[in-house]
Amino acid sequence: MRDALAVDKWILLAVICLVAMGVVMVLSTSYLYSQERYADGTYFFRKQLFAMGGGVIALIVCSLIPSHQYRRFAYPLLALTLLALILVLIPGIGASRGGARRWIAVAGFAFQPSELAKLAIVVYLAHSIAKKESVIGTFTIGVLPHMIVTGLFAGVLLLEPDFGSALILTMLLYSMLFIGGVRLHHLLSTALLALPLLIYVMTKAEYRMRRLLSFMDPWSDASGSGFHVVQSLIAFGSGQLWGRGLGESRQKLFYLPEAHTDFVYSVIGEELGLLGALAVLTLFGVIIARGLRLTSRIEEPFDQYLAFGLTVLLGLQALIHMGVVMGLMPTKGLVLPFISYGGSAMLINLAEAGILLSLSRRRV
Amino acid sequence: MRRSLKRNQLRVNCVKVVFLLVFAIVGGRAFYLQVFQGDKLMRLGQRQHLKEWIVLPKRGALYDRANEPLALSLESQSVYVRPHRLRDAAEAKITLARILHLKAADVEHKLAANKPFVWLKRQVSPAEAEQIQALRLDGIGMYFEPTRYYPQGALAGQILGFVNRDSEGLEGIELQYNDYIRGAAGSSVSERDALGRRVLVEGVEGLQVPPGSDVQLTLDTSIQHLAEKELEAAVHKHRAKAGVAIVVDPATGEVLALANYPTFDPNKASQQSADQRRNRAVTDSFEPGSTFKTILAAAALEEGVVGKDDLFYCEMGKYNYAGRVIHDTHPQGWLPFAKILQVSSNIGFTKVAEKLKKERYFKYIDKFGFGRVTGIDVPGEVPGLLRKPESWAAIDLATHAFGQGISTTPMQMVMAYAAVANGGLLMRPYVTRKIISPQGQVLVENQPQIVRRVISEKTAKLLASMLRDVTTEGGTGVAAKVDGFDVAGKTGTAQKAEHGVYSKKRVGSFVGFVPAENPRLVSLVLIDEPEGNVYGGVVAAPAFKNIAQGALRRLAVAPREGAVFPTAPNPTEPSLPRLLKRPGVQLAAIKEDAVPDFHGLSMREALEKAQSLHITLKVQGNGYVIKQMPAPGERRSEDQVVVVNLQG
């Protein structure tokens, strides 16, 4: 039992706080929407509570598995995820909502394999980079295989389409290769080569292009393409220092799209003010700071890369979500880990936190 | 110790710095937005949350005089789209276009709109609403809106008017009494969600919007229907452009029917032209032609300038006056004044006008209400065109005499004849009896309103008898004669002036009242631009006859004694107090001390007769008096009660 609790208390505490805050915010943001849609205000809330229960179990289980054991999961997890990602694309198996195929029915639940993909790639990269540590300086062995595998996953995600997750995978790849000691000119030249591809993907879909343009100047078309950004800014800003108070958001009354998922931080800003917004930011700061501290302290390569990858994964998602909400980045449609509504994300994010805790055992 | 550890450490530190930087940016941005921009963004938000939100109350209903509904408010659903929330527009487009019977291109356009909220289709049918509901599409929703329904379709469309989608009356009674019909509570400030719906927050929850008030009109649906049918038939038969038919109660000024052709169906207001919407009876003015001769006749008789039997030489159809030649259609020699009216001699009337002089003539034109609005309670009334006598040229005296150089609305003309019919009183016409609040309180009640006395009762009687001759053998309006009744009236055929020059186009009309002795209704039929035979006596008089005949039945007016007339009356139930107020009713002299004879009278006539003789009448049944107790001729007591049995 003492062994079970010999983990990073700061990370555990931050995750608990975020999850607790999350379920409250899901209730606050989804109540009217689910009332309108299902004539049941607590429909989303109850689903989220259920996912949280599952997530807590996942966290405990993952934190109890000895960290070096995760190495074994690398390839099976990768294969399973790829299968799921391909299944999602097959009509009849993958469920389509609002024009994107992102869900797959597993035992009566709609599961989002893209959440699993992020974890699978982190575990795979940690394992592979650790294994190839001695030849990491070479391009063909140290860089190319990782790029091909991650690129394949990102490509499949783009087919859904899920541009946000594909972007996260790419950023994970580069940050982990960077930590793994890949030569900088390898990273830079591949990035330069990938740039035309990125531009092509960005401009191919008209809606992404519009998002990009509206991000530059959302107020030029506040009722049109800049609508989401403007509404989000209005929500976030009108919270001011102390916020309107929990449950008092006006913008969640259908002005904000997806107030309970992609724009939950906006409502946090509106209802809880600067203090609430900074509190959430600080909690993620704790996870990132402790995660990176852990990274520096671990000597085993796989464990080190895994801790780094998980920290970057959680931190990136949180910061991108916040950046989007505050108009710092084009709208992406990324959920805020531990807080936004969504069962798959809740389950996987808590599992990731569990793995991070396992990695921290007896190391802090 | 691993070789790369040191390099790793350096790179981890790099990442730490990057994260720290990003944290600073995100935190700084939050601070900037919430502290520096907070006020501005909050105001921007309030502008969209707090907006004056018009709460649409249920409009009151419109009824005819027998409480037959003419306009009702129903609640129907309108479909909206929130384009930003709609995910699969391409798929939705096809489904929505199919269900709502819209063009796919139009739907596509709306779904792609750069707005948070767009109406897709307003006031859909229940079947459409059900299918939309079943779709459960994100971004597509429905909202209850009151909708106006006119159960009689085009009946009296121009009088009723119509409303826009925001429940605002735009024409007719809907506009005239909009403030009452629409409901008192107009708007309130409350919070709105992005759909523009009221959000129940902070004390606005209890906001109840009381419905509007109901309006009872003076129109009689069956007479209105008859007038519209006959008018349309006449217009079609003579291939005319338009037409007006009016039926008014001369004693009160109540409009019983007001028909316009082309017709207008307020249920389809947006699809109909402004031409159809126009209530020509008040918005259009016409040169009246010979129907205006009655005004001169009234003036000349009242002023004692001429007598009924005064002779005038009609110059055998050609008369040089003020440098112009005045013609008669049928050349005449010496004629008494009554005959001049009967045959409608322009030359005869010119000579009468010469005797009267323009100032005195004008005084009566003015007193009869020409050149100013009648004050009827429908919007858009025009005063017509009347020039002051100071500006009349010498010829104008003659042209006015036969109804040229002046323009009048059909309503003005009807009310002028109503004044002759009711014994000399110009009444204000009205189409609204009363306005009743949702609580049953009478908010407005129109009473018969005398504008002024125009001519004496004696002159009126005399003129009525002269006008009766117009519909008898040798008169111009024989076609207006109603079986079993004496009709008093006048035909008119006016040339239409176009760009200041008289054209070949004509306006044929007939206006008159019936029964001539004790008029119960005044009616005008005007046919605009008939083809072929254009005379008022041909194009308008037959329609007058049919309308008058049906209306008399509807009003249960008994034909004159001795007339063989198959009646199938459908009596209305006029309210007693209104009857008793009825002015100008002429009654035959009855022996003071005997019980009068009520046999054959309608309920209304029987009540009038009883009232004038201070007899209390007990009425049993409907229709005409077939039995009375005590029998006529018996000695009557001080406060005699007579029981009458009616049967229709």
User: What is the model's pLDDT at position A288?
Assistant: 96
Cβ contacts (< 8 Å) between A227 and chain B: which residues? 84, 114, 116
What per-residue confidence (pLDDT) applies to A51? Answer: 93
Same domain, yes or no, for B452 and B307?
A: yes
CA distance B494 to B503: 10
Asked if residues B305 and B294 have their Cβ atoms less than 8 Å apart, the reply is no
User: Is the Cβ–Cβ distance between B70 and B63 less than 8 Å?
Assistant: yes
DSSP designation for B254: B
Q: How far is A115 from chain B (nearest CA, A)?
A: 21
pLDDT of B318 > 50? The answer is yes
Q: What six digits make up the tokens of A345?
A: 């994300």
Chain B (493-552) residues lying within 8 Å, Cβ to Cβ, of chain A: none
Longest dimension (CA), chain B: 143
- Is the predicted pLDDT of residue B208 greater than 70, yes or no? no
- Give the count of beta carbons closer than 10 Å to the beta carbon of residue B568: 7
Radius of gyration of chain B measured on its C-alpha atoms: 34
Handedness of CA B552, B558, B563, B566 (dihedral sign): positive
Same domain flag for B250 and B141: no
Q: Most A CBs within 10 Å: which of B1, B33, B36, B42, as the mutation test of the A interface?
A: B33
Same domain, B14 and B68: no
Asked if A227 and B34 come within 8 Å (Cβ–Cβ), the reply is: no
Higher pLDDT, B574 or B256: B256
Indicate the residue among B554, B583, B611 that finishes a domain.
B554
Q: What number is the average pLDDT over the span B125-152?
A: 80
Residues 223-262 of A with CB under 8 A from B: 223-225, 227-228, 233-241, 250-251, 253-255, 257
User: Using an 8 Å Cβ cutoff, are B323 and B395 in contact?
Assistant: yes
Mean pLDDT of B573-602: 51
User: Is this structure's pTM higher than 0.90?
Assistant: no
Interchain contact, B41 vs A236, CB within 8 Å: yes
Tell me if chain B has a CB within 8 Å of the CB of A269.
yes
Q: Tell me the residue type at B222.
A: S
State whether B414 and B273 are in the same domain.
yes
Same domain, B238 and B171: no
Nearest Cα neighbor of A115 from A305, A355, A347 is A347
Predicted pLDDT at A162: 85
B82–A301 C-beta distance less than 8 A: no
Provide the greatest CA pair distance for chain A.
60
- Could you tell me if B594 lies within 8 Å of chain A, comparing CB atoms? no
pLDDT at B50: 57
Q: What is the DSSP string of B311-362?
A: EEE-BTTEEEETTEEEE-SS-B-EEEHHHHHHHT-HHHHHHHHHHH-HHHHH
Q: What is the DSSP letter of B407?
A: B
CB pairs under 8 A between A and B: 145
Whole-number pLDDT of residue A107: 64
Please answer yes or no on whether A250 and B8 come within 8 Å at the CB atom.
no
* Inter-chain touch B38–A238, beta carbons under 8 Å: yes
Query: What DSSP element (H or E) covers B626?
Result: strand B624-629
User: Which of B522, B539, B554 lies at the terminal end of a domain, its last residue?
Assistant: B554
Give one word for B345, left, alpha or beta, with left for phi > 0 and alpha for psi -120 to 50: beta
**Is residue B22 less than 8 Å (CB to CB) from chain A?**
yes
Mean per-residue pLDDT of chain B: 84
Partner A contacted by B47 (CB < 8 A): no
Task: Give pLDDT tens digits for B71-119.
Answer: 988 877 778 887 766 777 777 888 888 888 888 888 888 887 766 677 8
Is A236 within 8 Å of B49 when comparing Cβ atoms?
no
Total Cβ atoms within 10 A of residue B316: 11
pLDDT the model gives residue B371: 94
Do B498 and B625 reside in the same domain of the chain? Answer: no
Distance CA(A38)–CA(B138), nearest Å, equals: 11
| Triad B295, B301, B307: Cα angle to 5° | 135
Burial per residue of B340-378, b for 16 or more beta-carbon CB atoms within 10 angstroms, e otherwise: bbbbbbbbbbbbbbbebebebbbebbebbbbbeebbbbb
Q: Are residues B299 and B266 in the same domain?
A: yes
Q: Using the beta-carbon criterion (under 8 Å), do A292 and B19 form an inter-chain contact?
A: yes
- A101 DSSP β-pair partners: A96
How would you write the pLDDT of chain A (364 residues) with one tens digit per residue? 667 778 899 999 999 999 999 999 999 988 877 876 777 888 899 999 999 999 999 999 999 999 889 999 999 999 999 999 998 888 777 776 666 777 787 666 788 899 999 999 999 999 999 999 888 888 889 899 999 999 999 999 988 888 889 989 999 999 999 999 888 889 899 888 888 877 787 777 666 666 666 666 667 666 556 777 888 888 899 888 898 888 888 777 767 877 888 889 999 999 999 999 999 999 999 999 999 999 998 888 999 999 999 999 999 999 999 999 998 887 667 899 999 998 999 999 999 999 999 999 877 6
Which residues in chain B have Cβ-Cβ distances shorter than 8 Å to A30? none
Query: Does residue B35 sit at the A interface (CB-CB below 8 Å)?
Result: yes
Residue B492 predicted with pLDDT over 80: yes
Q: For B257-271, B335-349, B487-501, B566-580, which range has the lowest pLDDT when averaged over its residues?
A: B566-580
CATH of residue B425's domain is 3.40.710.10
Provide the domain limits for residue B190. Answer: 52-217
| HEC secondary structure over chain A | CHHHHCCCHHHHHHHHHHHHHHHHHHHHHHHHHHHHHHCCCCHHHHHHHHHHHHHHHHHHHHHHCCHHHHHHHHHHHHHHHHHHHHHHHCECCEEEECCEEEEEEECCEEECHHHHHHHHHHHHHHHHHHHCHHHCCCHHHHHHHHHHHHHHHHHHHHHCCCHHHHHHHHHHHHHHHHHHCCCHHHHHHHHHHHHHHHHHHHHHCHHHHHHHHHHHCHHHHCCCCCHHHHHHHHHHHHCCCCCCCCCCCCCCCCCCCCCCCCCHHHHHHHHHHHHHHHHHHHHHHHHHHHHHHHHHHCCCHHHHHHHHHHHHHHHHHHHHHHHHHCCCCCCCCCCCCCCCCCHHHHHHHHHHHHHHHHHHCCCC
* Facing A175 at nearest CB: one of B8, B15, B29: B15
User: In CATH, what number is assigned to the domain containing residue B56?
Assistant: 3.90.1310.10
* Among B118-132, B177-191, B214-228, the least confident range: B177-191
Q: Which residue among B30, B87, B88 sits closest to A274, beta carbon to beta carbon? A: B30
Its sign, for the CA torsion A294, A295, A299, A304, is positive
Residues 6+ apart with CB under 8 A from B645: B620, B621, B625, B626, B627, B628
Of the residues A30, A38, A254, the best mutation for testing chain B's interface (the one with the most B CB atoms within 10 Å of its CB) is A254
Q: Is residue B576 part of a domain?
A: no
Among A197-201, B198-202, B209-213, B310-314, which is the least confidently predicted range?
B198-202
Are B72 and B203 in a shared domain?
A: yes
ipTM of the complex: 0.91
pLDDT score, position B237: 93
Same domain, B99 and B210: yes
3-class state of residue B534 by DSSP: coil
DSSP structure string for B426-488: EEPPBSEEEEE-TTS-EEEE----EEEE-S-HHHHHHHHHHHHHHTSTTSTTGGG--TTS--E
Residue range B361-379: mean pLDDT, rounded? 94
Distance from CA of A121 to the nearest CA of B (A): 19
Residue B606 predicted with pLDDT over 80: no
Tell me: pLDDT of B164 over 90. no
More confident residue, B135 or A302: A302
Residues B87, B196 share a domain: yes
Instruction: Report yes or no: A266 at the B interface, CB cutoff 8 Å.
Output: no
Inter-chain CB proximity A179 and B12 less than 8 Å: yes
pLDDT band at B206 (very low <50, low <70, confident <90, very high): very low
Cβ of B45 within 8 Å of Cβ of A238? The answer is yes
Q: Are residues B87 and A237, on separate chains, in Cβ contact within 8 Å?
A: no
Do residue B87 and residue A273 have CB atoms under 8 angstroms apart? no
Nearest to B85 among A32, A96, A257 (CB): A257
State whether residue B199 sits within 8 Å of chain A by CB: yes
- Burial class for A224, CB neighbours closer than 10 Å (0-12, 13-18, 19+): middle
When mean pLDDT is compared across A253-267, B252-266, B430-444, B585-599, the lowest value belongs to B585-599
Name B618's bridge partners.
B643
Residues of A with CB below 8 A from B7's CB? Answer: 181
Asked whether residue B115 is domain-assigned, the answer is yes
- Is the CB of residue B34 less than 8 Å away from at least one CB of chain A? yes
Residues B193 and B296 in one domain: no
Query: Does residue B184 have a pLDDT over 70?
Result: no
Partner B contacted by A315 (CB < 8 A)? yes
User: For residue A159, what are its two tokens?
Assistant: 């087919």
Please check whether residue B458 is in contact with residue B470, taking contact to mean a CB–CB distance below 8 angstroms.
no
Region B514-534: mean pLDDT is 93
Q: How far apart are alpha carbons A342 and A324 in whole angstroms?
A: 18
Q: Which two tokens stand for residue B498?
A: 């176009």
Q: Is A69 on the interface with B (CB under 8 A)?
A: no
Q: B41 and A278: CB-CB below 8 Å?
A: no
Q: Which of residues 319-338 of A touch B (CB under 8 A)?
A: 319, 322-323, 326-328
B193 and chain A in contact, CB less than 8 A: yes
A272 → chain B, closest CA residue: B34
pLDDT value for B574 = 42
Q: What per-residue confidence (pLDDT) applies to B240?
A: 94
Alpha carbon of B74: minimum distance to chain A alpha carbons (Å)? 24
The alpha-carbon gap from A255 to the nearest alpha carbon of chain B, in Å, equals 5
Reply yes or no on whether the pLDDT at B183 is more than 90. no
* B247: DSSP letter: E
Q: Flag whether B346 is in a domain.
A: yes
pLDDT, residue B161, reads 94
CA distances from B44 to B39, B294, B395, B434, B567 (A): 9, 69, 71, 47, 74
Q: How many domains, in total, are found in chain B? A: 4
Catalytic residue positions of B, numbered:
290
